[in-house]
Amino acid sequence: MMVKLKLWRASFETVINRLSFNMEKVVHFDEIISDAKGLWLSGLFGSIVGWNPNKSFYEHRIIFFSMIKALLDEQVIKFCSPDDPLGRVVPYWNANSQEIVNYLEQHWPENAKAKDDDDLSFYFYEMPAILWKDESGKYMGS
């Protein structure tokens, strides 16, 4: 078990190291991912806010979508399809990362102004489930 965990951590760190498109500008990137891994989208957003308390809500939103795009590109995460948001029939959304990010951005609540806005909470529950790659290479949701 420890060997598998060490191998998974090494491979996960390799992927994270390759996520350098502008993630170096994201303060506490590794900590955000570590805290959010396995959680819903709300967990990822909450981790971004928690590790970057001095940034504005708008900046949190930019970081959120940038991180999703990077994590999709590196195949650290996948999403269930909007047609099957819990992946009961179709396990993964067969779309490129930009299409997925565009969908998520288009559905972002225009009136949301803070992390604990009710519209934002509804958004996180209405969006397709996020799936995180586990140590065995399988994608799992929470």
Mean predicted lDDT score pLDDT of the chain: 86
Question: Residue 18: its pLDDT value, please?
Answer: 47
pLDDT tens-digit series, residues 13-46: 554 454 444 555 677 889 999 999 999 999 999 9
pLDDT > 70? residue 10: no
Question: Residue 127: its pLDDT value, please?
Answer: 95
Q: Which residues, 6 or more positions from 132, have their beta carbon under 8 angstroms from its beta carbon?
A: 37, 38, 76, 77, 139, 140, 141
Q: Which residue has the higher pLDDT, 89 or 9?
A: 89
Q: Which domains does the chain have, with CATH numbers?
A: 2-140 (1.10.3510.10)
N-term to C-term CA, the chain: 22
Q: How confident is the model at residue 85 (pLDDT cuts 50, 70, 90)?
A: confident
Angstrom CA distances, 34 to 50, 61, 102, 107, 123, stand at: 13, 19, 25, 26, 23
- Averaged over 55-81, what is the pLDDT? 96
pLDDT > 90? residue 120: yes
Angstrom CA distances, 138 to 19, 77, 131, stand at: 20, 10, 9
Q: What value, to the nearest 5°, has the Cα angle with vertex 106 and ends 57 and 65?
A: 50
Question: Residue 29: its pLDDT value, please?
Answer: 87
- Averaged over 60-77, what is the pLDDT? 96
pLDDT > 90? residue 97: yes
* Gap between the Cα atoms of 130 and 40, Å rounded: 6
CA max distance for the chain: 48
Residue 3 in tokens: 């060997």
pLDDT > 60? residue 4: no
User: Residue 125 corresponds to which amino acid?
Assistant: Y
